[in-house]
Amino acid sequence: MSYELRISKPALKFLEKHPMEKKKFLEIFKEMSTNYEDAVNKYDIKQMQGISAETYRLRLGKYRAIYRLYNDVLVIFVLDIGSRGDIYK
């Protein structure tokens, strides 16, 4: 089962400004799109509290990616990426 990866404009803007993190995040999300269950166990991914049931955060160093998982249409939608202090606001 393979997921399609979609990235929002704010997340793309972050990735364009940070080329080193872009490479890391895209590698992780590509791995998640092909084998989601193994990627969840391999990386620091947690379900968000108080938001939609399918919203998660991925921690990579001092940056966080917030994404939503749509199992019915097999889509991983990256909502935003940013530093720990700014992403949750």
Region of residue 70 (phi > 0: left; psi between -120 and 50: alpha; otherwise: beta) = beta
Quote the pTM value: 0.90
pLDDT of 88: 77
Q: Which helix (H) or strand (E) holds 44?
A: strand 44-47
Amino acid occupying residue 47: Q
Superfamily of domain 4-81: RelE-like (3.30.2310.20)
pLDDT tens-place string over residues 38-84 = 999 999 999 998 877 789 999 999 999 999 999 889 999 999 999 98
Q: Are 46 and 60 in contact (CB under 8 A)?
A: no
